[in-house]
């Protein structure tokens, strides 16, 4: 459940070194997966707040599940933003 983010599954990291010209780095520069992960993280954090304010016996479990989702998708979003930014920078620094 913690590692089910779009960015971890769909974003290819750039290579450690840029390829020699005229090759272009093979990586994901689209920011759609980290945007989706960020939105899911925000919704899950809202769920944590919702369950934290409830006064029933399952509220703690609900908050814990939502918190786990927020952490998992948050890590995935962070990873996706970092990978896509590095990819975009690598592609700009090595023109075709």
Count the domains in the chain: 1
Range 18-39 average pLDDT: 88
| 2 inside domain | no
Residue 37 included in any domain: yes
d(CA 96, CA 79): 26
Whole-angstrom distance, CA of residue 6 vs CA of residue 36? 7
Instruction: Give me the pLDDT at residue 4, please.
Output: 63
**45-95 confidence digits (pLDDT tens):** 999 999 999 989 999 999 999 999 999 999 999 999 999 999 998 888 765
Q: What is the pLDDT of residue 96?
A: 55
Q: Report the C-alpha gap between 55 and 95 in whole angstroms.
A: 58
In a domain, 65, yes or no: yes
Q: Tell whether 50 is covered by a domain.
A: yes
Give pTM, 2 decimals.
Answer: 0.84
Question: Which pLDDT value is given to residue 82?
Answer: 95
Q: Which domain holds residue 83?
A: 29-93
Q: Cis check for the bond before 68: say yes or no (omega within 30 of 0).
A: no
């Amino acid at each position: 459940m913690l590692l089910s983010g779009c960015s971890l599954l769909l974003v290819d990291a750039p290579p450690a070194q840029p390829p020699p010209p005229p090759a272009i780095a093979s990586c994901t520069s689209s920011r759609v997966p980290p945007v989706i992960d960020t939105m899911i993280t925000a919704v899950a954090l809202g769920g944590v707040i919702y369950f934290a304010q409830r006064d029933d016996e399952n509220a703690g479990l609900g908050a814990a599940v939502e918190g786990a989702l927020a952490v998992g998708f948050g890590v995935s979003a962070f990873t996706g933003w970092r990978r896509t930014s590095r990819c975009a920078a690598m592609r700009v620094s090595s023109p075709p």
